[in-house]
Amino acid sequence: MSEDLTSKQTNPKEIRLTDYRSPEYTTETVDLTFDIKDGNTEVRSKLHVKRCLDGVSELLLNGQDLELLSVVVDGRALSGNEYTVDSETLLIPELGAEHDIEIVTVIKPEENTALEGLYKSSQMYCTQCEAEGFRKITYYQDRPDVLARFTTTIIADTERYPTLLSNGNRMRSETRVDGRSAVTWQDPFPKPSYLFALVAGDLEMIEDTFTTMTGRSVTLQIFSEAHNIGQCDYAMDVLKRSMRWDEERFGREYDLDIFMIVAVEDFNMGAMENKGLNIFNTSCVLATPDTATDAAYQRVEAVVAHEYFHNWSGNRVTCRDWFQLSLKEGFTVFRDAEFSSDMNSRAVKRIEDVGFLRTIQFAEDGGPLAHPVRPSSYLEISNFYTTTIYEKGAEVVRMYDTLLGTQKFRAGTDLYFDRFDGSAVTTDDFADVMSEVGDKDLTQFKRWYDQAGTPLVKLVERYEDGELSLDIVQSCASSPKQDAKAPYHMPLLIGVLAPDGAPLSFYDLAVDSSEEVRSSADGDSLLIELRNEQASLNLSSFEAKPVVSFLRDFSAPIRVDYARPDDELAFLVEHDVNGFVRWDALQSLWVAYFSGASELDLAQLIGKLGEQATSNEDAEQLQLIAMMLNVPEMSYLFEALGEFEVDTLLRQRDAVIGTIALENVDIWAALYEQYFADGAFQPDAKGMAQRGLKNAAFAYHVRNLRGSELVSTVQRHYQGADNLTDRRAALKAALTEPDFPVEARTDLLTDFYDKWRNEALVVDLWFNLQAQSPVLTLDEIKALEEHPAFDMKNPNRARALFSVFGMLNHSRFHAIDGSGYKYLADAIARLDALNPQIAARLSAPLTLWRRYDPVRQERMRDALSTLTTADSMSKDLYEVVTKALDN
Ligand code: TRP
Ligand code: ZN
């Protein structure tokens, strides 16, 4: 009937944006009945379809891995020769203008390890339909530009599945004599099939209410399996805060009377914005001090808000086709980032996001899988849920805000929601609205959607007789299938500082530029709208040579080549008013240091920052300092340095950490003791700042210790911890310090495991820390797979081992004999048979082979090549591997 999921895909069909055609028929209503029984679920689907284009008579439905029982049109059962069915479609010919169609299929959720469509996680049934999972449930027009009203009835065993949920409002429920119940849900809002959701399980629930800005009361419910229900309160708090924030900041009110979140343990991504029924990976919803690190708390805050915000940016206004994915994802990431900025510190959030963008998105954008924010073709859409679509897409939205100013940007989003409510639109529609309200030609700006690659802006600075001039040149390297790039329209935000560190006002300067420029209302910064390949900026009437603070707030997602003396960068670290530039200047110094171009004593600079932290009280300043105390991660350096050799860089980085530790020995000891007892755990900015400082100081402090003193200090840190962030720091030290005795390390790991073995997310961390440990051998890491708690089928667990190994264990993954690459490739091949989406994602580290030295390049390509020789390969993995080897 249908093709095996893992059958070899030799020539998957390329889907192209230029082939887009609006649907010939549309589905207006769909009435689904799920009869859930062990081993198979029967899905009865009643469609009301209507012709949209004159002269057409064929209805094309998508379907995959379905057993088709019957097709009935207007009450008449079709015989097998009255329709055509293949492994991906069901075609019903000879139709008229309007019909009622009933289709019955059988699916097997228990066997669904791909976690797409209807599947079983622990004891519960749940769905994941984005992007093309609905076609694994029933034959349907599974495309985002078909919006239908859904009614869903779920029938299941009452005792085992007392909780039966779907989108919209609960209309009816009945308990039957046969021990089964039926519940019917109706969603009043027309929606594409990717937003459909169903949950059946034995779940606990917490409930709250929210009163909207117009005074409507909304019931809020979070569901999870009983053992997790005690960890849902933080998410509920975030949900209420994000609902209020979206009203205040974007004027967006929630529209149904109920909003539900369900936490599931097996989930491919972070979470899903199904209408009125968001489904979450437990990792993005559960949070208590003992089970979530500060990073995890922040992730819960961001993802709960993100999915909620999709109700407008994604659900009420959706995407015409999947090439427009960034329309909803880029915009919604921008919205959740703004929310997190308002909840915590704007500068801290910006720095975290830029660090991520530079490490992961720049790598993607410079590699063989580079694609534009609006791609023009794909083989498998699941592969395009990327940092380019999400994070670079969010940067593009941020640039509208910067170019138009916050007021006009808000007018633009108001108009966008108003004009397109209930429809499926494109990134062009979004751009056109912004152009209209901003009264600005954004034709050139749209290149951000079409051209892949990270632009490079090169600056040359001259100063003479009170006049500072900057020559600005932009370029962008070629990308797969895109050789030449045209110049971008980008906002560059700059400031200037006097030699004593005082910010200078642009109102006091004469400004002359080849580009459009305007200063901020307070005069502190200047916005240059770079449009040309070459541009100039001249500033005059300085009394002495100023220091330029460039690309404040990271106003455009670009690389910068701006050769400047070490002391100017150090000056910016100390004096700039822009938190991002302070951090950025320090990263530039680090990059110069690792490329052998800096003479500055960075150990002393870091020590000075550590000292400042002992006397500062401001939570934001402390968080900034905490971030600046850490030497950039290897993966950040891989992307920032043009040339490097992995082992040499690892040694250099390790050595400089040792120097920072040793040369400031008293500072770290003092800072550590100062923050060791930092009061009861709070997941707020102050608490996070304190733990950030404590753990940065702790890491340097233990670097100076040996033998029993090392062990007892780590043990004390571990034992004294009242939260997972601190416990993690202790375990990390035991798994990083080469002198840490094996026996003491094993004791700590065993203790941690025994205490938290029932908390899946904590056990994930236990695997994660070992998978990234440079002191464990590859064999020891491989042995983790034999641990009874390891489970290939659980994405969080698989990621904790394999993804962490490939992305963070640089010494073992990049072992020169290629053993690390082989290990990852082998894991990918095994995973591909179970879960293609996860397998394709895990290959990312191997696709970046071009960054490394010739020997490693060859070994990485070898590892990728072995994947192509497997008997079977999913479409997902095929696309990633062939593109990686092609380019
Ligand atoms: N739309 C989801 C988000 O909020 C992404 C997502 C969740 C997803 N699950 C998925 C995408 C499975 C592809 C496959 O970002
Ligand atoms: Zn999203």
**How is residue 534 written in tokens?**
């070459």
CA atoms within 13 A on the CB side of 671: 35
264 CA distance to ligand 1 middle (Å): 14
Chain segment 320-329, per-residue pLDDT in tens:
999 999 999 9
Distances in Å between the alpha carbon of 569 and those of 14, 563, 583?
48, 10, 10
Backbone phi, then psi, for 153, in 5-degree steps? -110, 130
pLDDT, residue 10, reads 61
- Give the whole-angstrom CA distance, residue 581 versus residue 397: 21
- Give the whole-angstrom CA distance, residue 448 versus residue 457: 15
386 CA distance to ligand 2 middle (Å): 11
Chain segment 533-575, per-residue pLDDT in tens:
999 999 999 999 999 999 999 999 999 999 999 999 999 999 9
- Give the whole-angstrom CA distance, residue 110 versus residue 489: 51
Spell out the alpha helix ranges (H) of 641-741: 646-663, 665-676, 685-703, 707-720, 724-734
Q: What is the CA radius of gyration of the chain?
A: 28
Q: Cβ distance 875 to 12 under 8 Å?
A: yes
- Give the whole-angstrom CA distance, residue 408 versus residue 429: 16
- Give the whole-angstrom CA distance, residue 515 versus residue 528: 7
876 lines ligand 1 (CB under 6 A): no
* 76-77/89-92 β-pairing: unpaired
Closest residue by CA, ligand 1 atom 4: 272
Query: Which residues, in sequence order, are CB contacts of 593 under 8 Å at separation 6+?
Result: 600, 602, 656
pLDDT, residue 308, reads 99
Above 80 in pLDDT, residue 12? Answer: yes
Q: Cβ distance 691 to 613 under 8 Å?
A: no
SS3 267: coil
Closest residue by CA, ligand 1 atom 7: 272
Chain segment 869-887, per-residue pLDDT in tens:
988 999 999 999 999 999 6
SS3 content of the chain, % helix, strand, coil (to 5): 45, 20, 30
Q: Cβ distance 507 to 533 under 8 Å?
A: no
593 CA distance to ligand 2 middle (Å): 38
Burial of 773 (0-12, 13-18, 19+ CB in 10 A): buried
The model carries a pTM of 0.98
For residue 556, cis peptide bond before it (omega within 30 degrees of 0): no
Number of the ligand closest to the Cα of 329: 2
Q: Cβ distance 632 to 354 under 8 Å?
A: no
DSSP class per residue in 354-414: HHHIIIIIHHHHHSTT---SS-SEES-GGGG-SHIIIIIHHHHHHHHHHHH-HHHHHHHHH
pLDDT, residue 887, reads 64
444 CA distance to ligand 1 middle (Å): 30
431 lines ligand 1 (CB under 6 A): no
Above 90 in pLDDT, residue 677? Answer: no
Measured from the Cβ of residue 21, the count of other Cβ atoms closer than 10 Å reads 7
273 lines ligand 1 (CB under 6 A): yes
Instruction: Tell which atom from ligand 1 comes closest to the C-alpha of 271.
Output: 7
Residue in 282, 385, 796 to alter for ligand 1 test, most ligand atoms within 8 A of Cβ:
385
Chain segment 631-672, per-residue pLDDT in tens:
999 999 999 998 999 999 999 999 999 999 999 999 999 999
**How is residue 591 written in tokens?**
């990059």
Q: State the average pLDDT over residues 350-358.
A: 98
Q: Does the annotation mark 42 as catalytic?
A: no
197 lines ligand 1 (CB under 6 A): no
- Give the whole-angstrom CA distance, residue 197 versus residue 273: 9
- Give the whole-angstrom CA distance, residue 545 versus residue 463: 7
Chain segment 83-119, per-residue pLDDT in tens:
999 999 999 999 999 999 999 999 999 999 999 999 9
Number of the ligand closest to the Cα of 394: 2
- Nearest partner of 801 among 844, 826, 765, judged by Cα: 765
**How is residue 729 written in tokens?**
């720091």
Number of the ligand closest to the Cα of 271: 1
Instruction: Tell which atom from ligand 1 comes closest to the C-alpha of 306.
Output: 4
- Give the whole-angstrom CA distance, residue 529 versus residue 527: 6
Separate counts of helices (H) and strands (E) for the chain: 31, 33
pLDDT band with cut points at 50, 70 and 90 for residue 11: confident
- Tell me which long-range contacts 409-415 makes (C-beta under 8 A, separation of at least 24): 409/434, 409/438, 410/250, 410/251, 411/437, 412/436, 412/437, 412/438, 413/250, 414/251
Above 50 in pLDDT, residue 68? Answer: yes
242 lines ligand 1 (CB under 6 A): no
Q: Cβ distance 771 to 785 under 8 Å?
A: no
* 25-37/148-157 β-pairing: parallel
Above 70 in pLDDT, residue 8? Answer: no
Above 80 in pLDDT, residue 813? Answer: yes
What angle do helix axes 294-309 and 233-250 make, rounded to 10 degrees? 50
- What average pLDDT is seen over the chain? 97
Angle of CA points 171, 234, 730, to nearest 5°: 145
Which one of the listed residues 116, 225, 307, 395 is annotated catalytic?
307
Q: Cβ distance 300 to 238 under 8 Å?
A: yes
pLDDT, residue 616, reads 87
Longest dimension (CA), the chain: 93
DSSP for residue 317: B
CA atoms within 13 A on the CB side of 827: 31
- Nearest partner of 460 among 512, 546, 554, 536, judged by Cα: 536
Q: Cβ distance 517 to 456 under 8 Å?
A: no
Q: Cβ distance 417 to 442 under 8 Å?
A: no
- Give the whole-angstrom CA distance, residue 130 versus residue 837: 12
- Give the whole-angstrom CA distance, residue 317 versus residue 662: 56
Above 50 in pLDDT, residue 7? Answer: no
pLDDT, residue 4, reads 43
- Give the whole-angstrom CA distance, residue 648 versus residue 632: 15
272 lines ligand 1 (CB under 6 A): yes
Above 70 in pLDDT, residue 331? Answer: yes
SS in 3 state form for 764-820?
A: HHHHHHHHCCCCCCHHHHHHHHHCCCCCCCCHHHHHHHHHHHHHHCHHHHCCCCCHH
- Nearest partner of 427 among 330, 525, 305, 341, judged by Cα: 330
106 CA distance to ligand 1 middle (Å): 25
244 CA distance to ligand 1 middle (Å): 24
Q: State the average pLDDT over residues 841-870.
A: 97
- Give the whole-angstrom CA distance, residue 340 versus residue 308: 13
Backbone phi, then psi, for 803, in 5-degree steps? -70, -40
DSSP for residue 144: T
Q: Cβ distance 142 to 90 under 8 Å?
A: no
CA atoms within 13 A on the CB side of 669: 8
725 lines ligand 1 (CB under 6 A): no
